[in-house]
């Protein structure tokens, strides 16, 4: 079999790339290790920046997102028992974010791909990538016990943090930067109305909490928990009880609880692999970088990689130019490091670090007090949260 671009991974990065290439007449096959249902069952991101919204529109799959997504112009920061609103819209000259779950975005992309009759191989086993240092890369995989080979011009490694593409790069050709945080996020989804119309980011002496949502009737909450905790240790009742203790009196009063429809623990990590291009193979999204979720940047950074990668590949075929491909890695990394910086900083500001003692809490509270009372401080948070402009610093 032959295609122009072999895409490994049918998460948001791979599906979005496939759709943008298709719109531009470029052929791609997507190979995914899991089933489509499994991919949709992973509960992850909830907040889209304008850049991501624009890309969904460009890919022709924005209709339901605009209908069902909730536009948010601000969020609350809760510390020392009091809430303060960051008015993102006002502070950034009119920018907002959108609440639209990664599951829904993925479903829209999957549906569009199926409707266009494009090739996706789910449950593709033992995917291996070959000869990406030549002009004729190949990908092999097994499906139902039979081995298949795809010849292609490019390989797009959209296969997430544990994927095969980054792992196939010779060790000397790649540098990895990593920080692992000493806690995780316990997430709970429930069909209950959100406690507040916007998100609440909570710094409490008991640890971080986040009140998020997927719709007017579905809530998503997170609690900072020790890495040693197991999800089985947390009954729904224990979760709600702990969340109440981290909230302010008004939110505590308003909180509507109910049975969980999903509960999971995610570890927190900052990670970047450099470079993101190896001959004819590119890494995009979580395959190349991970941020702790505090800044809601992971999916949005993945979307910008895909934007840059699709335009580089389109330019290659249309203009026979390798300029975009040559710039891909540097262009992405410049933006990624700013997203990494913001996510690390916001994580450090909001969580309780087990070894840091009481002074750390006092210093965090002083910084938060500064941020919410200084227009300069608040604007810096707001402009990073809504997403820096694509041409930032150029
Ligand atoms: P994904 O989603 O991990 O998809 C990779 C796909 O590749 C497949 N795969 C393979 N396929 C074939 N062969 C192999 N050898 C393969 N190995 C792996 C996998 O099965 C999978 O389907 O990466 P992608 O597409 O780059 O997308 C990245 C996003 O998923 C991620 O950045 C976000 O979810 C991060 N994130 C958030 N990002 C935001 O922008 N806003 C948020 O509000 C936000 N909240 C979050 C988050 C991530 C979280 N967790 C669980 C890590 C909240 C949480 C709790
Ligand atoms: C979510 O709704 O899952 C979510 C929202 C904001 C974050 C992280 C996760 O910063």
Sign of CA dihedral 189, 190, 191, 194: negative
Question: How close is the Cα of 214 to the center of ligand 2, in Å?
Answer: 10
For residues 111 and 36, is the Cβ–Cβ distance under 8 A? no
- Rounded CA-CA distance 44/214 in Å is 11
Question: How close is the Cα of 101 to the center of ligand 1, in Å?
Answer: 12
- Rounded CA-CA distance 50/202 in Å is 24
Q: Is 100 a catalytic residue?
A: no
Q: Is 201 a catalytic residue?
A: yes
Give the mutation target among 44, 46, 75, 123 for probing the ligand 1 site: most ligand atoms within 8 A of CB: 44
Closest listed residue to residue 305, CA positions, set 293, 292, 321, 289:
289
Q: Is 222 a catalytic residue?
A: no
Q: Where are the domains of the chain?
A: 5-70+101-177+270-355
For residues 83 and 211, is the Cβ–Cβ distance under 8 A? no
Atom of ligand 1 nearest to the CA of 300: 40
User: In the structure encoding, which two tokens stand for residue 251, read together?
Assistant: 């939110």
Question: How close is the Cα of 19 to the center of ligand 2, in Å?
Answer: 25
User: In the structure encoding, which two tokens stand for residue 377, read together?
Assistant: 């401080």
Sign of CA dihedral 284, 289, 292, 296: negative
Strands 47-48 and 70-72: unpaired
Beta partners for 8?
A: 31, 157
SS3 for 98? Answer: strand
The one catalytic residue in 289, 297, 307, 351 is 297
SS3 for 55? Answer: helix
Q: Is 170 a catalytic residue?
A: no
Sign of CA dihedral 305, 306, 307, 313: positive
pTM: 0.97
Closest-CA residue, ligand 2 atom 1, reads 46
Task: Supply the pLDDT for residue 45.
Answer: 87
The count of other CB atoms within 10 Å of the CB of residue 179 is: 14
Task: Supply the pLDDT for residue 43.
Answer: 85
Closest listed residue to residue 374, CA positions, set 97, 89, 86:
86
SS3 for 353? Answer: coil
For residues 217 and 191, is the Cβ–Cβ distance under 8 A? yes
Q: Residue 88: is it exposed, middle or buried by C-beta count within 10 angstroms (0-12/13-18/19+)?
A: buried
Work out the angle at residue 86's Cα, subtended by the Cα atoms of residues 346 and 194, and round it to the nearest 5 degrees.
90
SS3 for 202? Answer: strand
Closest listed residue to residue 11, CA positions, set 107, 98, 151:
107
Beta partners for 5?
A: 28, 154
Question: How close is the Cα of 206 to the center of ligand 2, in Å?
Answer: 19
The count of other CB atoms within 10 Å of the CB of residue 5 is: 24
Give the mutation target among 211, 261, 293, 301 for probing the ligand 2 site: most ligand atoms within 8 A of CB: 293
- Rounded CA-CA distance 16/28 in Å is 12
User: In the structure encoding, which two tokens stand for residue 36, read together?
Assistant: 């489509």
The 10 Å CB-count burial string (b at 16+, else e) for 293-306 is: bbbbbbbbbbbbbb
What CATH number matches the domain at 5-70+101-177+270-355, 3.90.25.10, 3.50.50.60, 3.40.50.1000, 3.30.565.10?
3.50.50.60
Closest listed residue to residue 183, CA positions, set 242, 232, 229:
229
Atom of ligand 2 nearest to the CA of 45: 3
Atom of ligand 1 nearest to the CA of 159: 7
Phi, psi dihedral angles at 146 (to 5 degrees): -105, 140
- Rounded CA-CA distance 349/368 in Å is 8
For residues 188 and 37, is the Cβ–Cβ distance under 8 A? no
For residues 275 and 326, is the Cβ–Cβ distance under 8 A? no
Beta partners for 87?
A: none
- Rounded CA-CA distance 182/187 in Å is 17
User: In the structure encoding, which two tokens stand for residue 63, read together?
Assistant: 């209709």
CA distances from 196 to 185, 210, 217, 281 (A): 20, 11, 11, 44
Strands 154-157 and 5-8: parallel
Q: Which numbered ligand comes closest to the C-alpha of 139?
A: 1
Query: pLDDT tens string for the chain (394 positions)?
Result: 999 999 999 999 999 999 999 999 999 999 999 999 999 998 888 999 999 999 999 999 999 999 999 999 999 999 999 999 999 999 999 999 999 999 999 999 999 999 999 989 999 999 999 999 999 999 999 999 999 999 999 999 999 999 999 999 999 999 999 999 999 999 999 999 999 999 999 999 999 999 999 999 999 999 999 999 999 999 999 999 999 999 999 999 999 999 999 999 999 999 999 999 999 999 999 999 999 999 999 999 999 999 999 999 999 999 999 999 999 999 999 999 999 999 999 999 999 999 998 999 999 999 999 999 999 999 999 999 999 999 898 8
Question: How close is the Cα of 44 to the center of ligand 1, in Å?
Answer: 7
Which residues are within 8 A (CB) of 309 and not within 5 positions of it... i.e. 6 or more apart?
17, 156, 282, 284, 328
């Amino acid at each position: 079999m032959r295609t122009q671009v072999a895409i490994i991974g049918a998460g948001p990065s791979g599906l979005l790339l496939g759709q943008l290439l298709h719109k531009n007449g470029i052929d791609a096959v997507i190979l995914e290790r899991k089933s489509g249902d499994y991919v949709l069952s992973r509960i992850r991101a909830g907040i889209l920046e304008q850049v991501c919204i624009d890309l969904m529109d460009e890919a022709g799959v924005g209709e339901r997102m605009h209908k069902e997504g909730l536009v948010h112009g601000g969020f609350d920061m809760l510390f020392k028992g009091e809430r303060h609103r960051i008015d993102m819209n006002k502070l950034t000259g009119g920018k907002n974010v959108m609440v639209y779950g990664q599951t829904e975005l993925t479903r829209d992309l999957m549906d569009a791909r199926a409707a266009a009759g494009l090739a996706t191989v789910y449950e593709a086993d033992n995917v291996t990538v070959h000869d990406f240092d030549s002009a004729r890369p190949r990908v092999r995989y097994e499906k139902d016990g039979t081995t298949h080979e795809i010849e292609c011009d490019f390989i797009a490694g959209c296969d997430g943090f544990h994927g095969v593409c980054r792992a196939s790069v010779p060790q000397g050709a790649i540098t990895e930067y990593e920080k692992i945080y000493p806690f995780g996020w316990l997430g709970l989804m429930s069909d209950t109305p959100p406690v507040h119309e916007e998100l609440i980011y909570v710094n409490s002496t008991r640890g971080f909490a986040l009140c998020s949502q997927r719709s007017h009737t579905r809530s998503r909450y997170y609690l900072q928990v020790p890495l040693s905790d197991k999800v089985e240790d947390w009954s729904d009742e224990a979760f709600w009880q702990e969340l109440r203790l981290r909230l302010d009196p008004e939110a505590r009063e308003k909180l509507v609880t109910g049975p969980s429809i999903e509960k999971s623990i995610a570890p927190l990590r900052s990670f970047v692999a450099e470079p993101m291009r190896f001959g004819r193979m590119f890494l995009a999204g979580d395959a190349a970088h991970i941020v702790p979720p505090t800044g809601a940047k992971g999916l949005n950074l993945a979307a910008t990689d895909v934007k840059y990668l699709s335009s580089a590949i389109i330019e290659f075929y249309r203009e026979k130019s390798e300029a975009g491909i040559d710039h891909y890695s540097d262009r992405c990394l410049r933006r990624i490091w700013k997203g990494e910086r913001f996510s690390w900083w916001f994580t450090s500001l909001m969580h309780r670090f087990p070894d840091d003692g009481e002074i750390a809490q006092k210093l965090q509270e002083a910084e938060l007090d500064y941020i919410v009372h200084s227009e300069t401080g608040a604007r810096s948070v707001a402009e990073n949260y809504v997403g820096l402009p694509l041409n930032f610093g150029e």
